[in-house]
Amino acid sequence: QKEVEQNSGPLSVPEGAIASLNCTYSDRVSQSFFWYRQYSGKSPELIMSIYSNGDKEDGRFTAQLNKASQYVSLLIRDSQPSDSATYLCAVNSYGNNRLAFGKGNQVVVIP
Amino acid sequence: ETGVTQSPTHLIKTRGQQVTLRCSSQSGHNTVSWYQQALGQGPQFIFQYYREEENGRGNFPPRFSGLQFPNYSSELNVNALELDDSALYLCASSRSEDNYEQYFGPGTRLTVT
């Protein structure tokens, strides 16, 4: 079992719709959870961090964390063409300094 | 912009050669982590440096080594390059106090032929 899994294939959403991305992780002691956005040919950009169960909103982005079920999700509301990118889920465990990344999910927003 | 810089931007090397990649961390950040990202994959942790010492290492062979300097900048050295070392090498800086929020530099694209 991979540490961090993002299983969905490319996601196409119409402009203005909600894009929903999911991520599961295997280490039950994981403490910190992050979403990075990566445009083609660029480096990952941190867009959300979440540390406790529940929802965290920042602008059009909402991160949701459920530690009991070991999943974290990202919602992008009012999707814009500029949101077209690959979204990487990253997880860090307590006392462990490295980030474990999923493979990423490509989002394409169709005007 | 994160304030993390990396050099060079692109590099082409031949199998068996050695390479040094450089990273300057964001102001106020004391920790540098290095990742390798192959095409279509998520970044893979190579190692981290804190207070000029290696502070954790991923599943990479000893020919991957690094340094951190007193100003928190860092180098990644790779000896005996292999074709599979072709990838985007990412440096991320962070503060040890900040729940491991890591901010990436633009990366160095290494091609080994």
Q: How many CB pairs under 8 A join A and B?
A: 64
pLDDT tens-digit readout, B12-32: 999 999 999 999 998 888 899
Residue A94: its pLDDT value, please? Answer: 62
Closest Cα in chain A, distance from residue B14 (Å) = 23
User: CA A57, A10, B103: angle at the middle one, nearest 5?
Assistant: 50
Determine, for residues B103 and A99 on separate chains, whether the beta-carbon distance falls below 8 Å.
no
Residue A27: its pLDDT value, please? Answer: 85
Closest Cα in chain B, distance from residue A8 (Å) = 14
- Interface probe for B, chosen from A27, A32, A99, A103 (most Cβ of B below 10 Å), is A99
Interchain CB contact of A103 with B (< 8 Å): yes
Residue A30: its pLDDT value, please? Answer: 83
Q: How far apart are the first and last CA of chain B?
A: 32
pLDDT tens-digit readout, A61-96: 999 999 999 999 999 999 999 999 999 999 987 666
- Is the dihedral angle over the CA atoms B17, B79, B21, B43 positive or is it negative? positive
| A16-41 mean pLDDT | 94
Higher-pLDDT residue of A9 and B4 is B4
Least CA distance to B57: which residue of chain A? A98
SS3 state at A106: strand
CA dihedral A98, A102, A108, B2 (to 10 degrees): 0
Which of A49, A97, A104 has the CB atom closest to B42's CB atom?
A104
* pLDDT above 90 coverage of chain A, percent: 84
Residue B6: its pLDDT value, please? Answer: 98
Q: Is the pLDDT of residue B97 over 90?
A: no
Residue A103: burial class (beta carbons within 10 Å; 0-12, 13-18, 19+): middle
**Which residue in B90, B16, B20, B53 sits closest to A99, CA to CA?**
B90
Q: Is the pLDDT of residue A29 over 90?
A: no
pLDDT tens-digit readout, B54-65: 988 999 999 999
Is the Cβ–Cβ distance between A79 and B37 less than 8 Å?
A: no
d(CA B47, CA B31): 11
Q: Is the pLDDT of residue B99 over 80?
A: no
